Amino acid sequence: DKIVVICRTSIEKDPTEGITICIADTRDPGFTDVPLTTIAKDRQSRIVLNNVCVPITDVIGQVNQGWDLVSTMLDKSTSLLCAQMVGAARKDSEIAIEYSKNRTAFGRPIAAFQSVSHMCADMTIWIDGCELLTFESLWKMDQNLPYSVEVSQAKSFCNEKCIAIARTSQVIHGGMGFMMEFDLHLWYRRIAAWTMRMGTT
């Protein structure tokens, strides 16, 4: 029944000023939830607030002073999104590598072909790099060390390499990798959508 809203409540020279975080009631007559169709096939909405009143008791922190908290939330959310991407991409790579060991062509597993083995090696290197950068950003958060640079590094690398892993996995599987009924199709959609959230590259 409640949502957290980040809104501009004052026009200031510094764009980081005048930001307020508050809690809005979804039962308010001015609240509209417009469902969106997404490539990830997940549930998202565009929220429209029309003259929705928020009591001062539902303000989180100080009025016009919410940017520091918002910035922290964005960094932490981005790192967690990277962890989601890493998990999906690792599953994609594991499925593809296992498939390449069992799928035969010309009397031998396709993993024995150099071009396929190179793709499997690339996926392994990419996913380990994504995981290490993501873990470093999360570790720095846990240790109360500066982490904004590491978060950006992780998101930038994950955006490029996780989607590359999903594509490579589909290539190794051939036509079945693109079928709606197959797991890889879902994970490709999810990873593609996640690359566009919390910072693109």
* Predicted pLDDT of residue 111: 93
**Tens digits of per-residue pLDDT, 83-104?**
999 999 999 999 999 999 999 9
- Report yes or no on 201 lying in a domain: no
Look at the chain and report how many structural domains it folds into.
Answer: 2
For residue 7, give its domain range: 2-60
d(CA 190, CA 41): 8
**Tens digits of per-residue pLDDT, 13-42?**
888 899 999 999 999 999 999 998 888 888
d(CA 161, CA 157): 6
Task: Tell me which DSSP letter residue 168 carries.
Answer: H
Is a pLDDT exceeding 90 seen at residue 44? Answer: no
Please tell me the number of Cα atoms within 13 Å of 156 on its side-chain side. Answer: 6
**Tens digits of per-residue pLDDT, 161-200?**
999 999 999 999 988 888 888 888 888 999 999 999 888 8
**Looking at the structure, do residues 104 and 159 belong to the same domain, yes or no?**
yes
Residue 79, domain CATH: 1.20.140.10
Residue-by-residue DSSP string for 91-156:
HHHHHHHHHHHH-EETTEEGGGSHHHHHHHHHHHHHHHHHHHHHHHHHHHHHTT---HHHHHHHHH
pLDDT band at 110 (very low <50, low <70, confident <90, very high): very high
Last residue of a domain, which of 25, 41, 60? 60
**Looking at the structure, do residues 55 and 154 belong to the same domain, yes or no?**
no
* Predicted pLDDT of residue 13: 87
**Tens digits of per-residue pLDDT, 114-172?**
999 999 999 999 999 999 999 999 999 999 999 999 999 999 999 999 999 999 999 99
* Predicted pLDDT of residue 106: 93
pTM, two decimal places: 0.87
